[in-house]
Amino acid sequence: MQFMGYNPTENDYKFWLVVNPSTWLIPTLFAVLVTAILIHVLAYSLPGQAYRAKPAVEAAAPAVEAAPAAAPAN
């Protein structure tokens, strides 16, 4: 596989010649964790996007019906 003359299967190892994983792996993972937490805090702070309990719907008061008019006496 090549992309614009770059063959990643042959050249990706060079990254590890510059970045020593024994030094940078934990700080990198910590930075990813902090980023993920911040994104989730932002997403959950948006209105309507959090798993918050919705306010309980109050039971509606029963409708009061007018009593039927008494039949006229004959």
**pLDDT tens digits in sequence order for the chain, 74 residues long:** 676 777 878 888 888 888 898 999 999 999 999 999 999 999 888 887 766 656 666 666 677 777 777 777 76
Q: What is the C-alpha to C-alpha distance for residues 31 and 38, in angstroms, rounded to an integer?
A: 11
pLDDT at res. 59: 66
Positive/negative CA dihedral, 42, 43, 48, 52: negative
pLDDT at res. 56: 60
pLDDT at res. 7: 82
Phi, psi dihedrals of residue 6, rounded to the nearest 5°: -105, 125
- Domain boundaries of the chain, sorted by first residue: 12-45
Positive/negative CA dihedral, 10, 13, 18, 24: positive
pLDDT at res. 52: 65
Cα distances (angstroms) measured from residue 20 to each of 11, 15, 25, 42, 50? 16, 9, 8, 32, 39
